[in-house]
């Protein structure tokens, strides 16, 4: 508990209006942060203020509101740049989320380059959104998808990674934190090994950015993808970071407004980075909300948040392990704040309904990671995932609710 | 959790723990696989018909308590029913879980009534109806996967 003493979780909780809600008459215990996190008033207000007093379409508008909205939008980009320490603003491309970011790289970077016999290397613990875009591009090009296996504990088998990485590998795409297991992967090591063979690496940071300070230059990753809505920001907004050299060499992902410099029926000149990849009117309010979310997270500090969540993870792990018939799926040495588990007697779906009755929101199912479920020969898990506002007392409520569940089903 | 007693009644919990007719069949007349991709429920339903009457029906696989107990109770109710009676029961059961008003042609649900508490939990309706959809597919001797999606 010591590392949570300095952390003012009560004041953080006060910033999140939804945490005062009651669910079935019980105080909400929100442990579904890996699916989507809640929003502090600072984010809600930033979006509200934009719509109330600062909204217009951005870019090319000569009127005041358009200039204000453009500034707010680009301030959001600046916040993201600082947050992940990108070298420059135009390496930050706004997308609808991690899924679109990965699809963009698959179609704009990989597809034109891939040839029959080339390989894309992913891992067994990827979210479906870091599997299917590669399956699609492999189908389109004749390239092959290779998968790094995972151990019983839920860690990547790094010796197998070293064997699978070869001169045919065109790209490595790997999650930094597993959404189903909580495993934190050694992405720096992976990037270093891939670069030694000249292979670029995309890091899926959807589950990482709310929990781990990320520095894309220190990592030296070629692409980094994440979403706003797991980072206390709005849905429908995400980021693709890409190294300037790579992004410049890629054709646009979609055609439309804002991604062009000039259009005629003889041909079109594409806009410069990052606008080349931002076709159509973007999610202006989403960017403003994301900027506010980043500012909010930075105020507390990701280091402090990570330490707080680690305290929750350690406490929850030791408490859950004492429950007879409960098995934790994913026991990597290095985990972020989520625990997948199954009960001998109770199906995860029933656990979810029982916990809900106690006000405890968790996720149950395959977590869009069916290969992980298959790997551990389970149909589904129950998953409790922690955020910056969760408390040790909430873990106690979770544990008590699990005991009640077992009591009812035994 | 007391309000969940309506959902997880003793009878349901008992069928979940000790599902009846929980076995594969060697050479069934009808067979279908049903899956609920949302929660990972997977069941196989096996069916033997004789002169248009359900002679034997069984299931195996894995699912949540609602799915398993519904499948178990279904097998008991279906035995001895004609195809038409079986389908009428399926439709009536489905109505009871999804519609506020009974339909004019609905037949009595008998012991299946205990499952109608699921109506108050809309996300669980698919759990309760998966076995029935799968039976329906088996009855039509449709081979291969069906989905409740």
CA distance A346 to chain B (A): 7
pLDDT of residue B146: 47
Closest-CA distance, B139 to chain A, in angstroms, reads: 26
Provide, as residue numbers in chain A, all residues whose Cβ is less than 8 Å from the Cβ of B64: 347-350
Contact A408 B66 (CB under 8 A): no
Q: Show the domains of chain A with their CATH numbers.
A: 2-30+301-409 (3.90.1150.10), 44-298 (3.40.640.10)
B69-109: per-residue pLDDT in tens? 999 999 999 999 999 999 999 999 999 999 988 899 999 99
Mean pLDDT of A131-141: 98
Prediction ipTM score: 0.86
Q: pLDDT above 90 covers what percent of chain A?
A: 93
A388 pLDDT higher than 60: yes
pLDDT-based confidence at residue A60 (cuts at 50, 70, 90): confident
Q: Residue A5 — very low, low, confident or very high, per pLDDT cuts 50/70/90?
A: low
Q: Which of B37, B42, B64 sits opposite A350 (nearest CB)?
A: B64
Residue A260 clears pLDDT 90, i.e. is over it:
no
Encoded tokens for A250: 């890629």
Strand partners for A269: A262
Q: What is the mean pLDDT of residues A199-219?
A: 98
Chain B residues lying within 8 Å of A364, measured CB to CB: 39
The yes-or-no verdict on residue A1 having pLDDT over 70 is: no
C-alpha B98, offset from chain centre: 15
pLDDT tens for each residue of A210-220:
999 999 999 99
Check CB contact of A403 with chain B, cutoff 8 Å: no
Q: How many helices (H) and strands (E) does chain B have?
A: 4, 4
Per-residue confidence (pLDDT) for residue A257, from 0 to 100: 86
- Work out the percent of chain B whose per-residue pLDDT is above 90: 76
pLDDT bucket at A3, cuts 50 / 70 / 90: very low
Nearest to A353 among B4, B38, B42 (CB): B4
As a whole number of angstroms, the distance between CA A65 and CA A60 comes to 11
Mean pLDDT, rounded, of chain B: 90
Region B2-143: CATH code: 3.90.1010.10
Q: pLDDT-based confidence at A397, cuts 50/70/90? A: very high
The C-alpha atoms of residue B139 and residue B32 are separated, in whole angstroms, by 8
Separation of first and last alpha carbons in chain A: 33
Confidence at residue B141, expressed as pLDDT on a 0 to 100 scale: 65
Catalytic residue list contains A368: yes
| Residue among A88, A138, A221, A368 flagged as catalytic | A368
Is a pLDDT exceeding 50 seen at residue A183?
yes
Q: How far is CA A18 from CA A28, A30, A170, A298, A389, in A?
A: 8, 9, 45, 21, 11
Question: Is the Cβ pair B63, A347 closer than 8 Å?
Answer: yes
Closest by Cβ to A380, choosing from B16, B40, B65: B40
Radius of gyration in angstroms for the set of CA atoms belonging to chain B, rounded to a whole number: 14
Chain B interface, best mutation among A340, A348, A352, A353, by max B CB count within 10 A: A353
Q: What is the mean pLDDT of chain A?
A: 96
Domain locations in chain B as residue ranges:
2-143
The pLDDT score that the predictor gives to residue B147 is: 45
pLDDT band at B1 (very low <50, low <70, confident <90, very high): low
State whether A379 and B39 contact (CB < 8 Å).
yes
What contacts A181, CB < 8 A, 6 or more positions away? A125, A150, A154, A329, A330, A332, A335, A340, A372
Q: What is the arithmetic mean of pLDDT over A66-81?
A: 97
Q: How far is A259 from chain B (nearest CA, A)?
A: 37
User: Quick one: closest CA in B to A359, which residue?
Assistant: B1
User: Rounded distance, CA B136 to CA B133, Å?
Assistant: 5
């Amino acid at each position: 508990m010591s590392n949570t003493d300095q952390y003012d979780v009560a004041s953080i909780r006060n910033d999140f209006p939804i945490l005062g809600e009651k669910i079935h008459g019980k105080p909400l215990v929100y442990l579904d942060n890996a699916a989507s996190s809640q929003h502090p008033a600072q984010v809600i207000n930033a979006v509200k203020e934009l719509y109330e007093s600062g909204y217009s379409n951005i870019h090319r508008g000569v009127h005041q509101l358009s200039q204000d909205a453009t500034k707010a939008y680009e301030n959001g980009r600046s916040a993201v740049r600082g947050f992940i320490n990108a070298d420059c603003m135009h390496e930050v491309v706004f997308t609808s989320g991690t899924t679109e970011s990965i699809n963009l790289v698959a179609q704009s970077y990989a597809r034109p380059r891939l040839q029959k016999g080339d390989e894309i290397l992913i891992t067994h613990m990827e979210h479906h959104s870091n599997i299917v875009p590669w399956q699609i591009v492999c189908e389109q090009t004749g390239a092959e998808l290779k998968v790094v296996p995972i151990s019983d504990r839920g860690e990547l088998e790094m010796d197998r990674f070293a064997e699978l990485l070869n001169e045919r590998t065109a790209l490595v795409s790997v999650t930094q934190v597993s959404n189903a297991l909580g495993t934190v992967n050694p992405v720096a090591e992976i990037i270093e090994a891939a670069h030694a063979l000249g292979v670029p690496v995309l890091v899926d940071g959807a589950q990482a950015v709310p929990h781990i300070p990320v520095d894309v230059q220190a990592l030296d990753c070629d692409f980094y993808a994440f979403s706003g809505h797991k980072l206390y920001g709005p849905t429908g907004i995400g980021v693709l970071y890409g190294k300037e050299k790579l992004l410049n060499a890629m054709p646009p992902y979609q055609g439309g407004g804002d991604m062009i410099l000039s259009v005629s029926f003889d041909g079109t000149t594409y806009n410069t980075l990052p606008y080349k990849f931002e076709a159509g009117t973007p999610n202006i309010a989403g960017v403003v909300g994301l900027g506010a979310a980043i500012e909010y997270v930075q105020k507390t500090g990701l280091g402090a948040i990570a330490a707080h969540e680690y305290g929750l993870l350690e406490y929850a792990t030791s408490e859950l392990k004492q429950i007879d018939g409960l098995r934790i799926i994913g026991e990597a040495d290095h985990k972020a704040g989520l625990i997948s588990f199954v009960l001998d007697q109770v199906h995860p779906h029933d656990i979810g309904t029982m916990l809900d009755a106690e006000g405890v929101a968790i996720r149950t199912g395959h977590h869009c990671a069916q290969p992980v479920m298959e790997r551990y020969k389970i149909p589904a898990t129950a998953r409790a995932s922690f955020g910056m506002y969760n408390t040790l007392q909430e873990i106690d409520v979770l544990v008590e609710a699990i005991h009640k569940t077992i009591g009812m089903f035994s | 959790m007391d309000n969940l007693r309506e959902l997880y009644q003793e009878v349901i919990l008992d069928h979940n723990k000790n599902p009846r007719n929980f076995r594969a069949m060697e050479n069934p007349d009808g067979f279908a696989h049903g899956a609920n991709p949302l929660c990972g429920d997977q069941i196989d339903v096996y069916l033997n018909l004789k002169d248009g009457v359900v002679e034997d029906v069984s299931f195996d696989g894995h699912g949540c308590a609602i799915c398993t107990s519904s499948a178990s109770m279904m097998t008991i109710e279906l035995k001895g029913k004609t195809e038409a009676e079986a389908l009428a029961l399926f439709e009536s059961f489905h109505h009871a879980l999804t519609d506020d008003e009974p339909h004019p042609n609905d037949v009595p649900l008998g012991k299946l009534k205990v499952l109608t508490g699921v109506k108050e939990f809309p996300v669980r309706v698919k759990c309760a109806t998966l076995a029935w959809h799968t039976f329906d597919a088996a009855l039509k001797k449709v081979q291969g996967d069906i989905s409740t999606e």
